[in-house]
């Protein structure tokens, strides 16, 4: 039988040679869940390892997705339901402690519960970690009560409540872009790709909750790369009266009555600005996860300058690593939105299915 894969599509033609092959997936976020389901549908046995008590990764912290405002929990529930496939064995609350490639070209993974898994291929969907906002001390996170992160704001949306610690509604809110991204001072020169559109979405949601509030977005450059993103940006300005100021925050302080005072240079008009805020939201970026960095070390994988795992080729082999039999998907290689993450996971599943057919036919 000839295995044909349409990369990023819904279809992979089943190859009966793969039935007895096994794949180990490390990371139970959206990419790991989607790849596990696609491989399982091809008759391939999958061990999916997740260190947390549930799958879904950072998606579990989100309220609504952009640009269509779909419920994030709806996607999480679908991904979890797919894991009930009989060809998937899920290992929750479990860490992959020791990753090795055997002399026979297979892979062994020692688990934190002392279990040992073996597989014919290894897929790393180790995702990303969020930038720790307290590293930017000048922004006051962890110092001032009225400074929160974009993830914390999403959690407030989930509770349908947006109030200051004193129980009042904020009247002036500022969103600060590029916190932990494109910042040489903290060693992150890469763009996290999603902060701009997240700020636009959240600003609209705040406007819907607080129609009388003043809302500002302070940005370096607006990067609206995805379908529907530019339209959402325009809608934020024209329909929701969100004010966008091109300038980077230099300093934040707090008055005696707990109001924030920020200093920003408006780079479009070339003048410094000083403004009071009731609430400041830091749009924190993505960094390579500890799981990705540890996999690089243990498996001798190539690492990109930004810390993420480097693909074998940026155009033609994005799902392959520099080591045979080790595959990559999702934000283990670069910041991605959810749509691209799921597409990348399907592509990786197709690559793995083709690889398993190849090694099976050579035995």
Average pLDDT over residues 245-273: 88
- The answer, yes or no, to whether residue 159 has pLDDT greater than 90, is no
Q: How do residues 72-87 score in pLDDT, each as one tens digit?
A: 999 999 999 999 999 9
SS3 203: helix
Under the banding of pLDDT at 50, 70 and 90, the label for residue 6 is very low
Is residue 33 a contact partner of residue 82, using CB atoms and an 8 Å limit?
yes
- How many residues make up the chain in this entry? 363
pLDDT at 276: 95
Residues 6+ apart with CB under 8 A from 300: 323
- Residue 62: is it exposed, middle or buried by C-beta count within 10 angstroms (0-12/13-18/19+)? buried
Give the single-character DSSP code of 337.
Answer: -
CA 246 remoteness from chain centre: 25
Characterise 169 by phi-psi region: left (phi > 0), alpha (psi -120 to 50), beta (else).
beta
Is residue 166 a contact partner of residue 258, using CB atoms and an 8 Å limit?
yes
Under the banding of pLDDT at 50, 70 and 90, the label for residue 162 is confident
Sheet holding 279-284, edge to edge: 147-149, 279-284, 172-179, 214-219, 243-246
- State how far the Cα of 192 lies from the Cα of 173, in Å rounded to an integer: 22
Beta bridge partners of residue 45, listed in sequence order: 22
Average pLDDT over residues 194-201: 96
Q: In angstroms, how far apart are the furthest CA atoms of the chain?
A: 75
Under the banding of pLDDT at 50, 70 and 90, the label for residue 18 is low
- State how far the Cα of 319 lies from the Cα of 317, in Å rounded to an integer: 6
Is residue 322 a contact partner of residue 162, using CB atoms and an 8 Å limit?
no
Q: How do residues 333-363 score in pLDDT, each as one tens digit?
A: 999 999 999 999 999 999 999 999 999 887 6
Radius of gyration of the chain (CA): 22
- State how far the Cα of 333 lies from the Cα of 340, in Å rounded to an integer: 12
């Amino acid at each position: 039988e000839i295995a044909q894969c349409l990369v990023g599509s819904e279809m992979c033609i089943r190859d009966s040679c793969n039935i007895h092959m096994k794949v180990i997936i490390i990371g139970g976020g959206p990419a790991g869940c989607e790849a596990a389901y696609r491989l399982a549908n091809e008759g391939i046995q999958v061990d999916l390892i997740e260190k947390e008590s549930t799958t879904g990764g950072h998606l579990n912290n989100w309220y609504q997705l952009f640009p269509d405002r779909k419920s994030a929990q709806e996607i999480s529930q679908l991904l979890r339901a797919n894991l009930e496939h009989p060809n998937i064995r899920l290992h929750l609350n479990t860490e992959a402690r020791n990753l090795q490639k055997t002399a026979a070209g297979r892979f062994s993974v020692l688990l934190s519960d002392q279990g040992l898994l073996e597989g014919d291929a290894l897929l790393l969907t180790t995702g990303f970690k969020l930038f720790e906002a307290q590293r930017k001390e000048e922004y006051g996170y962890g110092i001032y009560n009225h400074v929160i992160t974009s993830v914390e704001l999403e959690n407030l949306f989930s509770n349908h409540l947006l109030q200051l610690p004193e129980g009042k509604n904020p009247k002036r809110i500022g969103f600060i872009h590029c916190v932990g991204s494109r910042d040489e001072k903290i060693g992150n020169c890469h763009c996290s790709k999603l902060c701009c559109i997240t700020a636009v979405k959240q600003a609209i949601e705040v406007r819907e909750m607080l129609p009388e509030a003043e809302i500002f977005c302070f940005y370096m450059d607006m990067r609206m790369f995805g379908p529907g993103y530019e339209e959402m940006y325009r809608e934020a300005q024209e329909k929701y009266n969100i004010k966008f100021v091109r300038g980077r925050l230099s300093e934040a302080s707090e008055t005696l009555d707990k109001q924030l005072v920020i200093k920003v240079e408006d780079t479009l008009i070339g003048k410094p600005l000083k403004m009071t805020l009731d609430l400041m939201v830091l749009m924190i970026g993505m960094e390579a996860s500890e799981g990705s960095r540890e996999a690089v070390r243990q498996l001798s994988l190539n690492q990109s300058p930004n810390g993420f795992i480097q693909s074998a080729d940026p155009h033609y082999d994005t799902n392959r690593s520099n080591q045979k039999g080790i595959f990559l998907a999702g934000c283990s290689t670069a910041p991605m939105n959810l749509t691209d993450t799921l597409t990348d996971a399907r592509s990786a599943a197709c690559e793995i299915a083709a690889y398993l057919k190849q090694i099976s036919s050579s035995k």
